[in-house]
Amino acid sequence: MTDPFVVVGGDAAGLSAASKCRREHPDREVIVFERGRWVSYAHCGLPYYVKGEVDDLLSLTTLSPEEVDDRGIDLRREYEVTAVDTARRTVTVEGPDGVVEQSYGDLLLATGARAVAPVDGVDLEGAFTLHHMDSAAALRAFLSEPGTVDPATVGDDYTDESAVRPYAERAPPETAAIVGGGYVGVETAEALAAWDLEVHLFQRGDALLPPFGEAVSEVVADELRERGVHLHLGCEVKALDGDGTDRLSAIRHTDGETTAEAAVVGVGVRPNAELATEAGVETGANGAVAVDEYGRTSAPDVYAAGDCAVAEHVVTGRRTWVPLGLTANRAGRAVGATVAGDPTPTGGVAGTAVVKAFDQECGRTGILDHDRAREAGFDPVSETVTAGSRSGYYPGNADTTVTLCADRDTGRLLGGSVVGTDRAAVRIDTVATALTGGLTVDELERTDLAYAPPFSPVWDPVLVAAKVVSGSVA
Amino acid sequence: MTDPFVVVGGDAAGLSAASKCRREHPDREVIVFERGRWVSYAHCGLPYYVKGEVDDLLSLTTLSPEEVDDRGIDLRREYEVTAVDTARRTVTVEGPDGVVEQSYGDLLLATGARAVAPVDGVDLEGAFTLHHMDSAAALRAFLSEPGTVDPATVGDDYTDESAVRPYAERAPPETAAIVGGGYVGVETAEALAAWDLEVHLFQRGDALLPPFGEAVSEVVADELRERGVHLHLGCEVKALDGDGTDRLSAIRHTDGETTAEAAVVGVGVRPNAELATEAGVETGANGAVAVDEYGRTSAPDVYAAGDCAVAEHVVTGRRTWVPLGLTANRAGRAVGATVAGDPTPTGGVAGTAVVKAFDQECGRTGILDHDRAREAGFDPVSETVTAGSRSGYYPGNADTTVTLCADRDTGRLLGGSVVGTDRAAVRIDTVATALTGGLTVDELERTDLAYAPPFSPVWDPVLVAAKVVSGSVA
């Protein structure tokens, strides 16, 4: 009898791996240790719960612990793995009954990432990072009228009641601040604005959503301003201020001070790689756990997948760190198959991402940043076009702005972005698929995309952009 | 001074070629002969004009004759080219002033296609083929209340007034029939149903939209029935019947007779290749003009593009005939560049098509039909999945049904279809792009597509389908 497949972390990567392994190899013992109470939940859905568009916090989970059990997985919630001994092939686990050692045949580190909040005052009441179900539950309770949220029942018994209780009886905030203009910041702006607050968004740099490039940034900034969000671009937050109390009352920043009773800090995430590094497992880009194409780390039979691990970039071929939901699910599933005896590559990443900013749909994929393209050995050229989403005469036609970046010498497509109000986000998948296929912009220009007046003009905006970039490459 | 670039046909392919040639080579004389009055119009928009969603017939044209003039193109409307002499490099033209000979340096045949209506009675008043602006103008006048459409002004002076006049004063029909369940038939069903008529659709075979495959056919049939369209599947129309008058009164078919005052016959189109064949130019698939990858025919300096010509299929590599708007525009543009001195491939076709059927969006691309796949040397396997269009908890999530067809031995993707109410059509572009890239279903499964709750679940329906087909290939 082989030792069990042990998984550290009960979210996307961990449970995908556990499920796949059990399905392929029903006799294999699979144990998942999760230090929290929540499992298999969708981070990406939190802004929509905060907004009120999704009403039930539990609906954000894909699997309940009972469903995980039904798959024959030994799920142990509130068990924290505190150490890995790769020589003895054991993990140390702290659980409700004390500390135990668990041996493993294969081990998956799926420890995820955590929000960083490098600013004073993030512990004040009223400040949130929105990287966890409990903080979303707390923020939603704060936004709601006093007495309408019962801390004991929101999210069943998964939610940490003590995180919600301070907000359940407080009057809702009248002003809120968002620190950071990445996708968490932009989605949170939409969520908070729905509650009829005065919303301020602070971004240290001059552009929102920097990885989406300039064209998207500008459209999104206009959209947020039109929706009444007060944008403070090029403005660095110095501290969250409680004016001597433990409650947030203001944001101190490079331009002065702004009153805020609520704040969401979303300035980035960092891989939870400490468990790996302390065990001597190698790390790579951004300090994430280094893995090969099968998710294998430097230690025998130890894998890593999801937000804590690197992945191969489809354009550069280099190991990179792009913590996103599909990557985690896919890599976890692949590790589960590999561990079950069917070696399966985890797949590359292109950094494909989509964000909704009120009515604007934004997408990006691949490499848009010219410095990064040059570092990877390319000679980048980008073009931006704005074209219709449908035939000009068809109702609902809307401006769609597409940027494509290509290598000047070879014409190879390197990346792209899309923004617009009419089905713009889904169009980024065309660009992402072209990256997987290694297409040149000429080849993309000649791709037989769909045309019908209600859905696309004769020349889809992506084709128009490819046509223009084609003129700029050799 | 070289002889002019002569173009036969003033629609998508012809005017794209003429415009591109003038832009690249402003000194080159370019003459376009168009036998009708309309130029540069969107066939694909006609159903939406008939429906009433688009109000101005003129808005369906991309360029007015004046705009064509402004590009320095010598456009001659109501000039019909009746013969080509490839040895003497001349065309015979019948125009308002009689018959003239015109010499050419390069010649483009962009003569398009015409609707076939192999059924008795199509000349009756009340029967239409909907393949031309005039017939759309006439049908809309018929559907409108008497006296509300002025035959002299609809579509300015482009419309053939005599085609519209008989309908302008008639009471609207109470029952209408559609002969054919291809995309013209399905779009027309939506258009006619908007006028609150009793609408019958007759399809000889058992499936609507046969090129879209079974899964799409079934969803569309359900949608049409739910919207009150009377479907007659497996029912062949024998004749349109005027009961001894010149006005349509009934449809005779294999199951009996159905009253109908209006009928739209949309059973297919055929390439207008007679001019070419009579000049000894070779033809290929479906009798369309044979061309190479640059649109060159068998005769020196004679090109063909658009609905009258073949194109290379991206999956089979064979010449095929797929008359669609983007193909025509792109091939015309490429020929214009080639003639101007910049040899440009016309690009392949994948047979990508999208159709709106009330709220259902349908897309298809590549090869779905197993017989056709086997003929091309593949061992096809198809799988169909239904998955959500968004995260399950996000409002607006809707069933999206994806079929993918792959080669069992190599895993190569051969084609696919998509149907659903939420942004389904645009998703076919992902599959079409994967065909251009020559991806296997494994590679497609590992493609980094976009995920965000409002736009896609973690596993996009296309990825779910790729995952399932992956399990069925070697």
B113-126 burial, b at 16+ Cβ within 10 Å, e below that, comes to: bebebebebbebbb
Q: Is the same domain home to A21 and A87?
A: yes
Task: Specify whether B134 is located in the same domain as B249.
Answer: yes
Q: Which of A412, A429, A439, A460 to mutate to test the interface with B (most CBs of B within 10 A)?
A: A429
Q: With beta carbons under 8 A apart, name residues in chain A contacting B358.
A: none
> Looking at the domain assignment, is residue A49 inside a domain?
no
Residues B157-208: pLDDT tens digits? 889 999 999 999 999 999 999 999 999 999 999 999 999 899 999 999 999 9
Contact B192, B174 (CB under 8 A): no
CA separation for the pair A12, A42 (Å, rounded): 8
| Percent of chain A whose pLDDT exceeds 70 | 100
Residue A75 has pLDDT above 60, yes or no: yes
Distance of CA A23 to the CA centre of its chain: 27
CATH code of B437's domain: 3.30.390.30
- pLDDT for B1 equals 53
User: Is residue B275 scored above 60 in pLDDT?
Assistant: yes
pLDDT at A156: 83
- B329 pLDDT more than 80: yes
Same domain as B335, residue B277? yes
Residues 26..65 of A with a Cβ closer than 8 Å to B: which? 42, 44-45, 48, 53-54, 56, 59-60
Could you read off the pLDDT of B105-135 as tens digits, one per residue? 999 999 999 999 889 999 999 999 988 899 9
- B198 and B95 share one domain: no
**Is residue A131 domain-shared with residue A262, that is, in the same domain?**
yes
* Count of Cβ atoms closer than 10 Å to residue B457 Cβ: 25
> Chain B: nearest CA to A323, how far in angstroms?
12
Q: What is the CA radius of gyration of chain B?
A: 23
| Contacting residues of B for A60, CB less than 8 Å apart | 393
Nearest to B411 by CA among B444, B385, B433: B444
Would you call A360 an interface residue with chain B, using a CB distance cutoff of 8 Å?
Answer: no
Nearest to B423 by CA among B350, B360, B352, B358: B360
Look at A433 and B430 and tell me if their CB atoms are within 8 Å.
Answer: yes
Q: In this complex, is the C-beta atom of B427 within 8 Å of any C-beta atom belonging to chain A?
A: yes
Tell me the three state secondary structure of residue A64.
Answer: coil
Domain boundary among B267, B283, B300: B267
Mean pLDDT value across residues B414-434: 97
Say if residue B63's pLDDT is above 80: yes
Q: Does A197 lie in the same domain as A234?
A: yes
* Same structural domain, B140 and B263: yes
List chain A residues with CB under 8 Å of B446: 330, 345, 347-348, 436
Two tokens, residue A307: 């937000």
Q: Are residues A152 and A107 in the same domain?
A: no
Alpha helices in B5-97 (DSSP H): 12-24, 46-51, 65-70
Same domain assignment for residues B249 and B139: yes
A230 touches chain B (CB under 8 A): no
> Cβ of A427 and B429 within 8 Å?
yes
Assess whether B406 and B429 both reside in one domain: yes
Q: Is residue A63 part of a domain?
A: no
Q: Establish whether B308 is a catalytic residue.
A: no
Of B72, B3, B24, B6, the closest CA to residue B343 belongs to B24
In a domain, B56, yes or no: no
pLDDT at B153 over 90: no
Above 70 in pLDDT, residue B364?
A: yes
User: Per-residue pLDDT tens for A399-456?
Assistant: 999 999 999 999 999 999 999 999 999 999 999 999 999 999 999 999 999 999 999 9
Q: What is the pLDDT of residues A12-67, one digit of tens each?
A: 999 999 999 999 999 999 999 999 999 998 889 999 999 999 999 999 999 999 99
- The answer to whether residue A451 neighbours chain B at the CB level (below 8 Å) is yes
Q: What is the mean pLDDT of residues A387-394?
A: 96
- Which residues in chain A have their CB less than 8 angstroms from residue B459's CB? 326, 329
Cβ A353–B460 below 8 Å, yes or no? no
Are the CB atoms for A452 and B356 separated by under 8 Å? yes
Expressed as residue numbers, the domain containing B168 is 127-267
- A330-369 pLDDT, tens digit per residue, is 999 999 999 999 999 999 999 999 999 999 999 999 999 9
**Total number of domains in chain B:** 3
Residues A262, A286: one domain? no
**Within-domain flag for B59:** no
Question: pLDDT band for position A1 (50/70/90)?
Answer: low
Query: Tens of pLDDT along A124-179?
Result: 999 999 888 999 999 999 999 998 998 888 888 889 999 999 999 999 999 999 99
The residue of chain B nearest to residue A439, with distances taken between CA atoms, is B437
- Mean pLDDT for the stretch of residues A203-215: 97
Question: Residue B61: inside a domain, yes or no?
Answer: no
**B288 in a structural domain:** yes
**Between chains, do A430 and B430 touch, taking CB under 8 Å as contact?**
yes
Residue A178 pLDDT: 98
pLDDT above 90 as % of chain B? 94
Partner residue facing A427 (CB), from B350, B426, B434: B426
Task: Provide, as residue numbers in chain A, all residues whose Cβ is less than 8 Å from the Cβ of B447.
Answer: 347, 350, 432-433, 436
In this structure, are A321 and A381 located in the same domain?
A: no
**Is A354 in the B-facing interface, judged by CB distances under 8 Å?**
yes
Instruction: Read off the CATH number of the domain in which A333 is found.
Output: 3.50.50.60
User: How many residues make up chain B in this entry?
Assistant: 474
* pLDDT score at B264: 97
Question: Does residue A65 lie within any of the structural domains?
Answer: no
CB-closest option in B45, B438, B447 to A432: B447
